[in-house]
Structure 1
């Protein structure tokens, strides 16, 4: 492990030496070490006045480091921040890019990571090293004094330690969003090194955002983070996936070959052991043994290293697939296709065994789709039983089958047409990006030692 990171670091340093004092962070965007990057937006653009008019000083500039992943969260946060007057350097990739990120003078999209598609090992290594070289160069010349890290990049240990120290040496204030306080613990591959490097990152950060009180408690208890350094913010409702008002649930079912009256269950997202898909499969098989009017959709690709786990599940459902009871789309589902699955479904099931919060849950809510979720982590805080969904025992296919049957026998399903709008309104009020943006901006101001004007 140490050899790997020494090699990575030496190659990055070599990349920087080869490039010399002048480099290009992004194609067509030259910078020099001596001259910091220009402001994300000019003063007159920030305040909406004429260029020669007297203007107040710039309030906030932030480098938003996305890790090149999780478009829904990065997009929602970025849009809410620029609406609050924050100017952003959005450090992204092809995966998180969208036309809306190129329409505001308050946001500069820097595609440092580029394409992350399939390639040879040599090409992947070259890509990631060039990316780190660009990221390090960016940090050395960037104007923003605040860096907000949404996700680390490829080499977790390097990012948590060397890169964090480098940012601090550059005089940056660091905000960090801990979507998972300890993903190693969740994925059953925790280690002393994992916990040590997490502790280093959490203590180097100037402020940490989490999404639930339980996550905050874990940070304080397991990693010794001071309470005043942590803010609990809502998980913003997904607003990056397009929705077509004219496209109805009936049309979505027809597109997937689902007949009217078939009760459709959706499992959506990255597939890995902690997602508990095997328990949903077992529950589904119990139900269809009594009633054949059920369909299960499994949409998503396996997490890295989760291929064997998925193979075992597919062997179990082979007969149901052949009978047409299970629809599989075992691949990445692009935004423009997501709507089909969430509108065709009658309920979203999250049979997770270990998690604090789920972006898929809020994606479902954005479509007004009820959810049946395992009572783990903080999911209980996000599910209103009988209102937005139901809870079941984790790792218990019998109880999950009971919850599914209870849902389809209940009022939430029978009045699904009108309840969808109620769920959307509930989620938009409780998980508003407007609230997230305001809370996040206030933390930036505090880090800069400034007050709202």
Structure 2
């Protein structure tokens, strides 16, 4: 696509071909501003309406990312992508690179690739969705910490989603507070929300209208605590609550899933669980969120999770464990409840309390309130404005 030549502020959004919801959401907020955007995306993003906006140039550098492709093809396409990305950086007149996600070789991306960008005179902004994920999961290494420290030092500005993440950057990596901006995660508006009713959604999953249904949605991995939810479910047998599990097993986590299934058998919970263990296409996601009474996030550790904003997009309340900064996004008794982490009994009590609360008994009213609350607090228009102000400050320093 031809580049736009204008004195207007121009930035490059480097998505790494990841998190289509976040990447396109942020783009939707930025296109409203007096700014030109070179958007580095993939095949899945290229047909989105927002990429066709007059102030957007879409560069499909990442291309196909089909996870089922043969290994040889995966290697070739990743190497081609890096070659195209390096070439793009050399020829673009965009002076501000906003890195939303790193690419495949994270140690290379954190260090040598950023050195290359700086040699080209680029100002770098990095959105840190996790400050140090390996530390959270107990797999931190010296090289991980060193390359993270290098990344946080070399970039010109860092965007995080909450105060807790900012504090960790300051305390663990000695980053100056004025180098960090807090911009909340935007609500997921990319997933279709049609006129499908709750009743129709439930019929698609063979669920009765009167049944009590809790939802676990997304990739299945140890840190997400599905095992804790299974343990909690054993306390809820007499309440006849059904658990809907929708998502695929994360790479390398099949043994964990096998252990979860053993727990289900051990506690005789088969009849209380509905499983859809596969990737859920975006166009089908609403079936699960509209069928459920509440989303359960029994996480053991995490800073932030986008699934909570997907739930709010559909007006679905949330019960989440008190880890990371998740509780900052939950208004007790209004949008959901918070329970103790790694405590299945407390989780079961919160689920019981939910079914006795006004949120459940006055579901439609609260559903509309949650949707309106999320639109106001987590709108991409607001996120776009805050990102835009960061870009302007960076460019002013550049000049």
TM-score exceeds 0.5: yes
Q: TM-score by structure 2 length?
A: 0.96
Using the TM superposition, name which of 117-126 and 205-214 deviates more: 117-126
1:192 to 139, 142, 145: 142
Report how far residue 388 of structure 1 moved.
0.5
Q: Which runs of 5+ in 1 are unaligned?
A: 1-28, 30-37, 44-57
2:18 to 63, 69, 83: 69
Using the TM superposition, name which of 315-324 and 124-133 deviates more: 315-324
CA contact (8 A) 2:264 2:270 kept: no
Matched, 1:151 2:101: yes
Q: Aligned in 2, Cα 1:97/1:393: closer, same or farther, shift over 3 Å?
A: farther
Q: Aligned in 2, Cα 1:97/1:257: closer, same or farther, shift over 3 Å?
A: farther
CA contact (8 A) 1:346 1:413 kept: yes
Output the CA distance in 2 between the equivalents of 1:322 and 1:214: 37
Report how far residue 85 of structure 1 moved.
2.4
Output the CA distance in 2 between the equivalents of 1:98 and 1:189: 38
Report how far residue 222 of structure 1 moved.
0.5
| Structure 1 SS opposite 2:287 | helix
The structure with the largest alpha-carbon Rg is 1
The 4+ residue runs of structure 1 with deviation greater than 3 A are: 95-98, 318-324
Q: Aligned in 2, Cα 1:149/1:271: closer, same or farther, shift over 3 Å?
A: same
Matched, 1:263 2:212: yes
Matched, 1:448 2:395: yes
| Structure 1 SS opposite 2:295 | strand
Q: TM-score by structure 1 length?
A: 0.85
Root-mean-square deviation over aligned CA pairs: 1.7
CA contact (8 A) 2:320 2:326 kept: yes
Report how far residue 450 of structure 1 moved.
7.0
Report how far residue 251 of structure 1 moved.
0.8
Q: Which residue of 2 aligns with 1:207?
A: 157
2:353 to 393, 406, 412: 406
Output the CA distance in 2 between the equivalents of 1:196 and 1:443: 26
Q: Deviations over 1:390-411 (max 9, x none)?
A: 1110001100000001101111
2:78 to 120, 128, 134: 128
Q: Which residue of 2 aligns with 1:371?
A: 318
Q: Which residue of 1 aligns with 2:378?
A: 431
Report how far residue 323 of structure 1 moved.
4.6
Q: Which residue of 2 aligns with 1:397?
A: 344
Output the CA distance in 2 between the equivalents of 1:430 and 1:65: 25
Matched, 1:277 2:189: no
Report how far residue 377 of structure 1 moved.
1.1
Output the CA distance in 2 between the equivalents of 1:68 and 1:99: 14
Q: Aligned in 2, Cα 1:319/1:76: closer, same or farther, shift over 3 Å?
A: same
Output the CA distance in 2 between the equivalents of 1:395 and 1:320: 18
CA contact (8 A) 1:70 1:96 kept: no
Output the CA distance in 2 between the equivalents of 1:66 and 1:186: 24
Output the CA distance in 1 between the equivalents of 2:151 and 2:397: 25
Output the CA distance in 1 between the equivalents of 2:368 and 2:266: 36
Output the CA distance in 1 between the equivalents of 2:37 and 2:258: 42
Report how far residue 102 of structure 1 moved.
3.7
Q: Which residue of 1 aligns with 2:301?
A: 354
Output the CA distance in 1 between the equivalents of 2:223 and 2:247: 14
Q: Which residue of 1 aligns with 2:191?
A: 241
Output the CA distance in 2 between the equivalents of 1:213 and 1:396: 25
2:120 to 170, 183, 201: 170
Where relative contact order (Cα < 8 A, 6+ residues apart) is larger, the structure is 2
Matches within 5 A, 1:305-384: 305-318=252-265, 323-384=270-331
CA contact (8 A) 2:28 2:381 kept: no
